[in-house]
Amino acid sequence: MGTAELIWNGVAALLVLCIYSFLYKDNPFYKFAEHLVVGVSAGYFAMILYYNAFLPKLINPLRAGQYWYIIPGILGLLMWARFSKKWQWLSRPTLGFVIGSGAGLAIPLYLQNYVIRQLSATMLPVGFTSWPLITNVMIIIMVFCALTYFYFSKQHTGAFGVAAKFGIWTLMVGFGAGFGMTVMGRVALLAERVIFLRDYMVQLWGALF
Amino acid sequence: MTFYERMMNLDRRWVYLVIGVVVVVTAIWSFAVPLYVTPEARSVYDFVDGLVPGEVLMIGVDYAPEVMAELHPMSYAITRQCFAKDVKLLLCCLHQNGPGMVEQVVAQVAEEYGKVNGVDYVYLGYKPYPGITILAMGQNFRIPFPEDYYGTPLDSLPMMRNMTNFDNVKAIINISGGSGTEYWINYANGRYNAKLAIGVTGVMTADYYPFLQSGQIFGLIGGMKGAAEYEYLAEKGGYITREKDQLWASKSMPIQTTTHIVIILFIVIGNVGYFMSKRKK
């Protein structure tokens, strides 16, 4: 490992320890590292946005004579009016365009992919002669019962109440799986940082002695 | 204060300390962990393994450094497998903090395999508004990306000569740490019927099993465990080796094992304390 890499990895290791110091209590080292990461991320994003979106999608077309690009350019500039109470209304056309086009693009496809395709995925062959058929039965029952829980126009009593109760248990199993995966994700981030610190300590020891 | 009340009121910093000690001790004194490969991770590996030289795979890499630990191993393993098989790669990044990381992966692995930019792989770069970018790519890659990440017009790149849109790629693998996956499912698969597999963080994995069950995605690499499974398969296939320190996620599996055991113990202790103190009342 070269000297420059050793120094920069040392800075990274120090910042990792500053962030983790928050686990004991809030302190100026944590605050410094937090502000640094927010500032660097914002600055990095601003430059990425300029060179990957602003320049090729607005400046270069205007320079090439495609003057109609000035219309979205002006719409984008009008968004800055949000910062002024007096001139906020100028941003309404831009917001309308963004929200309208976004909703128009998103709603039909979300309906198709999050509702219709999922509904059709519950229309499964059922039976008890093989494990895939049994799991299909379980899927249909659990989906039905989970949806039953969210029907609040009828009291959850009797057979309906039993289905709703089973639906809650189904949801809890799902939340438990989600919680377990979340724990794994967080531990993964911690594990990688600890391995980085371990490897850096070994390299630092090797470089110094 | 009784023992159970003390358990219920334990300062959380003791929990942090115990977990920290367990992680550090396991990092220093590691051990081998047997790995079970899930069908959803295997289906991604088998698909990539079934590609023939010259075919194009698209990888949408939409993550930032904060989830690098879980997703970088997937990116490296898939990229190494593709380059080893002479499969061409088309990469893009739809996360604002990710372009540099994607470049790090593809440039490093391309150098390992002697692959040439523009001939064996093309890195399109970053554009904002993932939904609109994906919709536009479905018509023609040149609409959102007239040039690649390095400023070269796509039409001048040999690899892009016969490439118009998603119909010209064998599949898309989206490796994402945020909402990018939703856009790929909705627009790339939903609108254009592109074949799609995803690699996501552990936090997101449970949310995307319904799409696996419905057939909207053909594979799912879930979190660091999924990455370790993919690395295991790639090592068996000879695409990555332990000697070259190419198994990132697998190094963390012992720590996952011990930490999860400790967390389960704490959950049991907490529940015992709760029920015992409830019974006392």
* Interface contact flag, B190 A113, Cβ < 8 Å: yes
> Is a pLDDT exceeding 80 seen at residue B4?
no
Which one has a higher pLDDT value, B243 or A185?
A185
CA dist., res. B172 & res. B193, Å (int): 11
Instruction: Establish if B271 touches chain A: CB-CB under 8 angstroms.
Output: no
* Interface contact flag, A184 B202, Cβ < 8 Å: yes
**Which of B147, B191, B259 is the closest to A187 by Cβ?**
B259
> Is a pLDDT exceeding 90 seen at residue A146?
yes
Closest-CA residue of A relative to B72 is A192
pLDDT at B32 (0 to 100): 87
pLDDT tens-digit profile of A59-113?
999 999 999 999 999 999 999 999 999 999 999 999 999 999 999 988 999 999 9
Which residues of chain A neighbour B13 with C-beta distances below 8 Å? Answer: 23-24
Terminal C-alpha separation, chain A = 14
pLDDT at B2 (0 to 100): 76
- Find the largest Cα–Cα distance for chain A: 76
Please identify among residues 168-207 of chain B the ones whose CB lies closer than 8 Å to any CB of chain A.
Answer: 185-187, 189-191, 201-203, 205-207
Q: Which amino acid is at A20?
A: Y
**φ, ψ dihedrals at A205, nearest 5°:** -60, -45
> Is a pLDDT exceeding 90 seen at residue B143?
yes
**Which of A56, A105, A190 is the closest to B23 by Cβ?**
A190
Terminal C-alpha separation, chain B = 14
In terms of Cα–Cα distance, which of B246, B225, B254, B229 is closest to B28?
B254
How many cross-chain Cβ pairs, A to B, lie less than 8 Å apart? 127
In terms of Cα–Cα distance, which of B49, B45, B33, B54 is closest to B199?
B45
The structure tokens 């290791």 sit at A13
Kindly state the average pLDDT of the residues B187-205.
Answer: 95
Alpha-helical segments (H) within B52-189: 68-84, 99-113, 130-139, 180-183
Q: Name residues whose C-beta falls within 8 Å of residue A175's C-beta, 6 or more positions apart in sequence.
A: none
**φ, ψ dihedrals at A9, nearest 5°:** -65, -30
pLDDT tens-digit profile of B144-162?
999 999 989 999 999 999 9
* Interface contact flag, B260 A139, Cβ < 8 Å: no
Instruction: Establish if B135 touches chain A: CB-CB under 8 angstroms.
Output: yes
For chain B, give the percent of residues with pLDDT over 90. Answer: 79
In terms of Cα–Cα distance, which of B172, B229, B181, B238 is closest to B42?
B229
pLDDT tens-digit profile of A6-18?
999 999 999 999 9
Question: Cα distance from B53 to chain A (closest Cα, Å)?
Answer: 31
The pairing of beta strand B56-62 with beta strand B220-222: unpaired
> Which of B259, B261, B262 has the highest number of chain A CBs within 10 A, making it the mutation to test binding with A?
B259
CA dist., res. B209 & res. A171, Å (int): 14
CA dist., res. A41 & res. A64, Å (int): 32
pLDDT at B273 (0 to 100): 85
Complete edge-to-edge strand list for the sheet that includes strand B220-222: B121-126, B88-93, B56-62, B171-176, B196-200, B220-222
CA dist., res. B276 & res. B281, Å (int): 9
Instruction: Establish if B63 touches chain A: CB-CB under 8 angstroms.
Output: no
pLDDT tens-digit profile of B18-27?
999 999 999 9
pLDDT at B230 (0 to 100): 96
> Is a pLDDT exceeding 70 seen at residue A1?
no
Which residues of chain A neighbour B138 with C-beta distances below 8 Å? Answer: none
The Cβ of residue B191 has, within 10 Å, a number of other Cβ atoms equal to 17
* Interface contact flag, B206 A181, Cβ < 8 Å: yes
B54 torsion bin: left (phi>0), alpha (psi -120 to 50), beta (else) = left
* Interface contact flag, A177 B190, Cβ < 8 Å: no
